[in-house]
Amino acid sequence: MACTATKYYKSKYKYVQNLKRNGKDYWTLNIPGVSKIKYETERAAAIAVDKYLLSKGKEPLNILVRKIK
């Protein structure tokens, strides 16, 4: 089976990118130094970005909101 080249496309969320490979769509994080885990939906990838930023002590950018005490 021939493998076609991977194509990357922008997302409406920050640090999320769409990649198309062999006719399938995947969503990945576009953060240097973070492994390229593939997600089925754009929303799941955006939540993963927010969780990563929260783990680094930064504010979430896409979907999640920091809980105010």
pLDDT digits (tens, 9 = 90+) for 48-61: 999 999 999 999 99
Does the pLDDT at position 13 exceed 70?
Answer: yes
Q: Give the other-Cβ count within 10 Å of 15's Cβ.
A: 19
The residue ranges of every structural domain in the chain are 7-55
Average pLDDT over residues 12-19: 93
**Beta carbons of 26 and 43 less than 8 angstroms apart:** no
- pLDDT for res 1: 57
Burial of 28 (0-12, 13-18, 19+ CB in 10 A): buried
